[in-house]
Each structure stands twice: as C-alpha cells, then as structure tokens.
Amino acid sequence: MGEIIAELKNIYKVFPGATALKNMALQLRAGEIHGLIGENGAGKSTLIKVLTGVHKPDGGEIFIRGEKTKLDGPLDAKYKGISCVYQELNIVKEMSVADNLFLGNFTRKPNSRILDYDTMNATTRDIMKSMNQDVDPTVKCGLLGMGQQQMVEIGKAILQKAKVLILDEPTSSLGEQEVKELFTILRKLREDGLAILYVSHRLEELFEMCDTVTVMRDAKHIITAPMNSMTKDDLITHMVGRSLNNLFPKQDTTPGQVALEVANLTSRGRFKDISFTARRGEILGFAGLVGAGRTELFRAIFGADPIDSGKILINGQPVKIRVPKDAIEHGIALLTEDRKVQGLVLAQSVEQNISLATLKATSHRGFLNIKLMESKSNKSVRLLNIKTPSIHSTVSQLSGGNQQKVVIGKWTNAEMDIYVFDEPTRGIDVGAKIEVYNAMNRLLSAGKCVIMISSELPELLGMCDKLIVMRRGRITATMTKNDPCFNQEDIMKAAWGGVITNEAI
C-alpha cells in the first residue's frame, strides 16, 4: 500500500440546525483511487470542503504526509498539494486554456511584469499532450467541450504538482467517449503516484476505477473497504441503511389517451422532422448521445427556443407555444437538466421555490396566501421526503438530490398534465433516485403523461414503456418495452446511427 498522503481523524463540522460531519475518518494513499459514496446529504460535499480548506472543522485533526496541519483556506490547501475538480467546473470561459491553467500563478519574463506567454503556452501544450489532449493553449476555454474543460481543470492540478486530486461527480456532464478518456488519464495519474478521491453516485464507475471505497451515511463514516470485496448490494445497503431490492420501481399501468403529439417539428440547427406521440399513464423515454438534440427538442416544445415548422397538439388540439408561459397554460411542465441555473432560485427558500409555479393559484388580488403556500410546501416536503431543516431554509443549503426534489415539488404542486423530466437523476444518490421514480409513478397513477430524457440506459430500460432514440437532431429508432430491440446494445447502436429492427435476435 502507498504512503498516506492525507488523513482526516474524528472530523466534526456543525452548521446552524445541522451536523454535517460526525467523527469522520478518511485516508488517501499515493497511487490509489479512493471512492467516496453516500446519499445526498450524507456529508460528502462538506468533507470535500474541509479537505480543500473551504470549511474549517469544528473538531478533529487533519494530517498531510503524517504531519498534523491546519488548512487556512483553499490557497493553503493548494500549496499543500490538494487540488479539487468540482462538479461545476471553475473555468473562466472567456480566458484561454493557458490563462486558466496559470490563473493565480502566472509566469512572468525575467525582471519584468510582462507575462511570459511563450513559456506558459509551451507548458500548457505539454501538460495537455500528457493527457492525450491536442488543444491549442491560446483558444478560449468556452469553445471547448465539457470533457476538454474538465481536462483543463485536471491540468491545473498537474501544473501545481498536486499530491491529492479530488474529483466531484466527474462524469455527470460527459459523453461515453469523454468518460473513457478521463478514466485513461486517471489510471495514468494513479501510476504516477497521485492520491485520488473519486466522488460519484455511479456505482459501476466505482467498481471500474476504484481500489478502495468509503461509504458515508448521516454525516458519519460507515465503512472503508477494498473495492473488490464489495458488491453493488453491499454498497447500497451501507449507503441507505437498508436493502433496495428494486432499483427501478416501475408500476404497471395501462396507457390512455394521447396527451402530446408532435408532427414534423423542425428547428434549424437543432432538430429536424420530429414526430411522436406521448400518452397519459405511460413513461416515454428519450435516449441518445450528448448533442443528439433531445434537450433542444423539449426546450422548443416548451417555448424556450424557436420552432421553424411542424405542429404541436395537446389532447388532440393544435396549439401555438411561443414562450414558456404558453406551455404552462397548456399544462406542460419542464424539469430542466440544470436545476441550479434553470430550475431553482438558489437564494430563496424551499417554500418560495416550491410555490414558484403556483403563485397565481395561491394569491388573491395581488396578496399571497401564506398559509396555503406553507401547507402545500409542507405537503411536498413530506411526500417527496425532502431533507431540509424547514421549508424556510434557503434551497442553496440543500444537497443536490434534495434540490432536485424541490424542483419536482414545484411542478407537481402546479398539477400539470404533461411532465418532461430532463436528466432527472443526474448527480443524485440511489435512494433519491428511487424517490424520483416513485414521484413519476404517482403522476402515472393520476393519469398524467411523463416524458424522461436520460443518458442512463438502465433507468430508461427500467422505467419506460416506450423509448425514442435520437442522433444529430433526428429520430433513429422507436421501440416499446416488449420489443426484442429494447436493450442497451440496440439502443446504443441506434444512438450511433446504426439500423435496428424489432425482429427477434
């Protein structure tokens, strides 16, 4: 086993109204990828912030290479060899790749205040090439894909000669090929002796990449064990404190009338000639690779992006949807993939966010009915098991999974007829995923139409009655759960542009 580079012992961290870490322990060793997993709200984010100097612990000890130390802020942690690539990347998109790598530590020409771009660009090129990235160091980071932006973040750690690299949900916004490239780089960094903390909700990634795993629950350390000694069921049981026998609790329902029909819908540069129907009492899934046009299609249906031609029918009647307000009036709810930017007002309370889509229904003559808002918000908190100190807590203080449930509560409160879930379980834990699926089941039981866009094939196969595959803005396959082609291999084949049939294989 490699040298212990960083160690936490008996770490406590308390916030007003909540204990975020209790007696937490962690060891990160050189040449090891250490997985960290736990439900949303288990304390993972707080642990990361303690390790990176963002939060000072209220108790316990931190050791770097065996020496007891205090981390006086993120810069101090960086100087001591700890680097973190957060889920929301710290990239300045208007600056070049080289500027981002050297930000805060620019190289200057000898005896001058002028920046030495020849040296910085050459170093940047070498670092990116070491990660198999042929990137122009002078190009703006905003022009790069998410995978390359993430490589720029890792490049910062390499430049800083980090000894500990923390990755927070590193694959949440990456396509399949980008994930493979990331894994190749991480294996190389492990061989180079880095200690890597890999935080993810994707169990299959932990089994593929990690040597050791630590499970957290309710702010506490539950277990640390070799990855090869654990099973998926073991991890889930340790995470949630109970066995989850059915990860996809889809209820059998009988599809009803067509709620949404789209005919030959086209938006130049986004998608072309899209036609489908979605029925009440069924889940219609949309699969495809990154850039397939799924999100763009439903943004247009919701009125957020323009439509050049085609028809939208609600309950058999043609409708004109020019702006999101029109879509809402026709009973369409869109739960966006980026909950923090498009789904929530982070500075407002849980109650205010849950009430956003129903302000008209909870007001009279311009005055809000506060008691009605509180009643509806408390009902959503109970029904969706939202973990929050109170409905008056700021939503930014909640974990990602609980923020997602607030978004769901906002729209279920509004009692829409058609619910579009765009990447509804991205970045949330297994337990929270099941609560999202159960929320979908309740909508189906109430006769609603549910549409799910997802990059997670297992959840599409586990939850959908019907599935549409898109590639480059066009539909390449349509199938039902009873078709022989309703499997991961054929879905991926269609996503890559291959032809599939519904004949038995």
Nearest-5° Cα angle at 401, 22 to 343? 135
Answer for the pair 128, 151: CB distance below 8 angstroms, yes or no. Answer: yes
pLDDT tens sequence across 378-394: 888 888 888 888 899 99
Number of Cβ within a 10 Å radius of residue 469: 29
User: DSSP states of 238-254 as a string?
Assistant: HHHSS--S-SS-PPP--
Answer for the pair 20, 43: CB distance below 8 angstroms, yes or no. Answer: yes
pLDDT tens sequence across 41-88: 788 989 999 999 999 999 999 999 999 999 999 999 999 999 998 877
| Six token digits for residue 442 | 């309740």
Number of Cβ within a 10 Å radius of residue 25: 14
The fraction of the chain above a pLDDT of 90, given in percent, is 54
Answer for the pair 112, 136: CB distance below 8 angstroms, yes or no. Answer: no
Chain mean position to CA 35: 17
User: DSSP states of 302-320 as a string?
Assistant: TTSS---EEEEEETTEEE-
| Whether residue 228 has pLDDT greater than 90 | yes
Answer for the pair 403, 424: CB distance below 8 angstroms, yes or no. Answer: no
Beta partners for residue 265, in sequence order? 274
CA separation for the pair 359, 110 (Å, rounded): 62
Report the relative pairing of strands 18-29 and 4-15 from DSSP bridges.
antiparallel
Which run of H or of E encompasses 465? none
What's the pLDDT score for residue 244?
Answer: 57
Number of Cβ within a 10 Å radius of residue 473: 21
pLDDT tens sequence across 278-327: 999 999 999 997 778 999 999 999 999 999 999 999 999 999 999 999 99
Answer for the pair 9, 57: CB distance below 8 angstroms, yes or no. Answer: no
pLDDT tens sequence across 458-474: 899 999 999 999 998 99
**Whole-prediction pTM value?**
0.66
Answer for the pair 198, 44: CB distance below 8 angstroms, yes or no. Answer: no
| Whether residue 397 has pLDDT greater than 90 | no
Answer for the pair 216, 238: CB distance below 8 angstroms, yes or no. Answer: no
CA separation for the pair 370, 160 (Å, rounded): 52
| Six token digits for residue 358 | 């129903």
